[in-house]
Amino acid sequence: MDIPYTVHARPDTGLYNAKIGIWLFLASEVMLFGGLFSAYIFLRVGADYPWPVHDLDVTLGFVNTVVLIASSVTVVMAWAMLKLRKFGLYRLNMAITVICAGVFMFNKSLEYKAKFAHYAVKLTDGTLLTGHLPHGYQVKFEGITELNLTVPLKKSAVFADPVGYVLPFVEGGAAKFKTEDGKEITLDESTFTALSAEAVKKATEAKKSQATIKLVATSPLKVAAKPSEIFGYTDSTLTFRDGTVATGKLADDKMTLEVDGVDARGVAQSEKSLAFDHRYLGDAWQKAFVENRDHHFEEFAKNYPTRDKNRSATLQKEALFFKLHSATPPAAGEGHGDKHGAEAHAPAEGHGDAHAHHPTVVLEKKDITFFSNFTPKLNTYYAIYFTLTGLHGLHVVAGALVLAYFLLFDGKRLRQDPEHLANRVEVGGLFWHFVDLVWIFLFPLLYLL
Amino acid sequence: MSDNVEEIQKSIKKYLFIGGLLILFSAITVWLSYVELPTHGQNILLGMIVATFKAALVALIFMHLNHERSVIYKILAFTVVLAIVLFALFIFSHEDPLVFSGFYTPSDQL
């Protein structure tokens, strides 16, 4: 059966059917993105932190804007060329459109990748440090001699599973233990099943609510895990996510951070930020920070004498979110935190260290309240940023796939029924313009304003 | 829908011109966002006005909404109204809905 009105207009609507279809679909798409833009407004109005402005890579965002606008022009040109039966130019414009989509997604992937590797660390006084973790971040325990496992007899959320939740973090993998009755075992799936069955039997006979298994390591163990991979720890005990408690000694929970920014907007007296403690960045950086801050405040007072410095979000950011561009603080009177000054102070010789242009601090755990890479976990801005750009990116991929299909696999229609293909391209193009239209709002809202 | 050959030939130049205009206005948006206006809210308002203008160009020229059949305008009229309602919802996040809608007046404001 032929689908009616694919080429010629239906008399009552005056349109071919697919066009009504795509506009109905686009209307629903407007509501989909509208809901998320509405969420953006809610999150921004309710944000209890300075909303990031110009924090994303504006150059990359602008390049992507130009790429998307260019592809919008080429897709409408492809349609026009098809209408004029200039098939070569149709194919060229279509190919450029699909390539533009690829460039857009490539740039997006660069942007996402940088966010995943970049961290923000909140200190107890409200200071936010940004930077990179050259070695990742792990809590390390050593001298672990004892594991205490708990197997509840009733169904429970926490259930001993040392093979899944303990062994992956033990240095050297498989470990040998002695059980309470002196048997020597290598902990794995089958030995643990046998062990827990025995313990459950004993506990049932003794009418206890849970079975406990005590394992003594034949040689002291070392454990290293990310904070998210364990449940919690003290100086002498480490609790895994299956409820297993290890007794040992905390070896290291300090965080090595290559600092590229000090955001003191959350600190009442910014010059006294914990970041400038003698253990961390120290007096010289503090001086550079104060100099940069006061410079911005003075400039602002000079340029806008009637305005309140506390009410300008951009001034607060420029003055109090201090970017570090060199490994050592700039000399007095030079480089007000801008790139020009920083280049002069970049180390002349690299010391074989790719990150030599940032100072490294070793943060103590007690000074850290929160840390995250630049992902939705960090704050609501990055949550809505990833949701909106992620959904938009999916639309770019979907649109590009449809247009690539017309270009590569619709050659028969191109020869036999170009008018029908022109309608298909027009409909695909309408979707593509909508994707561009969404980006026209996303770019200023997320990158600029 | 422009169907005849001469009209399409004419519109090709228009598409290129609008594309250039869109890139120009994108650059203007970037520049405007760095201008220090009395409040940041004014920066946002200005940026959104430029973005809406750009979006209108895309919708009218590239999406051919400047000469479309009435049935499509009818579909879009619903969309526009509902989208405006969505964007107005945030008012309830910092206005008491009862006071705001006039159902209730707090005693200290009587």
Same-domain status, A391 and A361: no
pLDDT tens-digit series, residues A338-381: 444 444 444 444 444 444 689 999 999 999 999 999 999 999 99
pLDDT tens-digit series, residues A126-138: 999 999 999 889 9
pLDDT tens-digit series, residues A207-253: 888 888 999 988 889 999 998 899 999 999 999 999 999 999 999 99
pLDDT at position A373, please?
Answer: 93
CA distance A62 to B23: 9
C-beta contacts of A282-287 below 8 A and 24+ residues apart? A284/A328, A284/A329, A285/A324, A285/A329, A285/A359, A287/A329, A287/A332
The count of structural domains within chain A is 3
Quick one: closest CA in A to B55, which residue?
Answer: A437
* Residues forming beta bridges with residue A146, ordered by sequence position: A216, A247
Q: Which of B12, B47, B89 is closest, CB to CB, to A448?
A: B47
User: Domain range holding A292?
Assistant: 125-133+264-348+356-372
Which residue in B35, B63, B74 has the most chain A C-beta atoms within 10 A of its own C-beta, making it the best mutation to test that interface? Answer: B63
Domain assignment present for residue A250? The answer is no
Interface contact A315-B40, CB threshold 8 A: no
pLDDT band of residue A182 (cuts 50, 70, 90) is confident
Domain assignment present for residue A234? The answer is no
Q: Which of B26, B75, B94 is closest, CB to CB, to A24?
A: B75
The minimum CA-CA distance between B98 and chain A, rounded to whole Å, is 19
- Using the predicted structure, report yes or no on whether residue B1 has a pLDDT greater than 50: no
Q: Give how far Cα A395 sits from Cα of A14, A28, A282, Å.
A: 29, 14, 48
CA distance A160 to A178: 17
What residue segments make up the domains of chain B, in order of their start?
A: 1-68, 70-110
A95 three-state secondary structure: helix
- Work out the mean pLDDT of chain B and round it to a whole number: 87
Collect all residues of chain A within an 8 Å Cβ-Cβ radius of residue B79.
Answer: 27, 30-31
Same-domain status, A362 and A216: no
The minimum CA-CA distance between A76 and chain B, rounded to whole Å, is 6
Average pLDDT over residues A90-110: 97
Domain assignment present for residue A236? The answer is no
Domain assignment present for residue A109? The answer is yes
pLDDT at position A293, please?
Answer: 95
Domain assignment present for residue A241? The answer is no
Which of A372, A404, A425 represents a domain boundary (last residue)? A372
Interface contact B36-A304, CB threshold 8 A: yes
Quick one: what percent of chain B has pLDDT higher than 70?
A: 87
Same-domain status, A343 and A385: no
CA distance B32 to A54: 12
Put simply, the chain A residues between 292 and 331 with a CB less than 8 A from any chain B CB are 303-304, 307, 311-315
Same-domain status, A273 and A366: yes
Domain assignment present for residue A3? The answer is no
Q: Which of B22, B29, B59 is closest, CB to CB, to A448?
A: B29
* Residues forming beta bridges with residue A184, ordered by sequence position: A178
Quick one: what percent of chain B has pLDDT higher than 90?
A: 56
Average pLDDT over residues B36-62: 94
pLDDT at position A340, please?
Answer: 43
Nearest CA-CA partner of A136 in A37, A264, A229, A26: A229
Put simply, the chain A residues between 56 and 115 with a CB less than 8 A from any chain B CB are 58, 62, 65-66, 69-70, 72-73, 76-77, 80, 83-84
Quick one: what percent of chain A has pLDDT higher than 70?
A: 94
Which residue in B43, B79, B85 has the most chain A C-beta atoms within 10 A of its own C-beta, making it the best mutation to test that interface? Answer: B79
- Work out the mean pLDDT of chain A and round it to a whole number: 90
Same-domain status, A129 and A278: yes
pLDDT at position A51, please?
Answer: 94
pLDDT at position A346, please?
Answer: 42
Q: Give how far Cα A425 sits from Cα of A6, A77, A413, A439, B18, Å.
A: 12, 10, 12, 21, 20
Residue A235, amino acid: D
Same-domain status, A441 and A396: yes
A363 Cβ under 8 Å from any chain B Cβ: no
Domain assignment present for residue A254? The answer is no
Same-domain status, A273 and A178: no
Interface contact B23-A69, CB threshold 8 A: yes
Domain assignment present for residue A291? The answer is yes
- Using the predicted structure, report yes or no on whether residue A15 has a pLDDT greater than 60: yes
Same-domain status, A157 and A129: no
A150, A243 Cβ separation under 8 angstroms: yes
Interface contact A54-B8, CB threshold 8 A: no
Put simply, the chain A residues between 423 and 442 with a CB less than 8 A from any chain B CB are 429-430, 433-434, 436-437, 440-441
Q: Specify the CATH number for the domain of residue A423.
A: 1.20.120.80
Residue A396: which residues within 8 A CB-CB, separation 6 or more? A101, A104, A105, A435
pLDDT band of residue A333 (cuts 50, 70, 90) is low
Nearest CA-CA partner of A322 in A309, A343, A337: A337
pLDDT at position B2, please?
Answer: 47
pLDDT at position A341, please?
Answer: 40
Which one-letter DSSP state was computed for residue A276? G
Put simply, the chain B residues between 21 and 80 with a CB less than 8 A from any chain A CB are 22-23, 26-27, 29-30, 33-34, 36, 38-40, 43-44, 47-48, 50-51, 54-55, 58-59, 62-63, 69-72, 75-76, 78-79
The minimum CA-CA distance between B100 and chain A, rounded to whole Å, is 17
CA distance A276 to A179: 51
Average pLDDT over residues A74-92: 95
pLDDT at position B9, please?
Answer: 87
Which backbone phi and psi does A284 adopt, to 5 degrees? Answer: -65, -45
pLDDT band of residue B107 (cuts 50, 70, 90) is confident
pLDDT band of residue A116 (cuts 50, 70, 90) is very high
pLDDT band of residue A334 (cuts 50, 70, 90) is low
Q: Give how far Cα B90 sits from Cα of A30, A42, A150, B42, Å.
A: 18, 6, 49, 18
* Residues forming beta bridges with residue A239, ordered by sequence position: A232, A245
pLDDT tens-digit series, residues A390-408: 999 999 999 999 999 999 9
The DSSP secondary structure of chain B, one letter per residue, reads ---SHHHHHHHHHHHHHHHHHHHHHHHHHHHHHTS--SSHHHHHHHHHHHHHHHHHHIIIIIT-GGG--HHHHHHHHHHHHHHHHHHHTTHHHHS-HHHHTTS---GGG-
Nearest CA-CA partner of A293 in A277, A315, A266, A261: A315
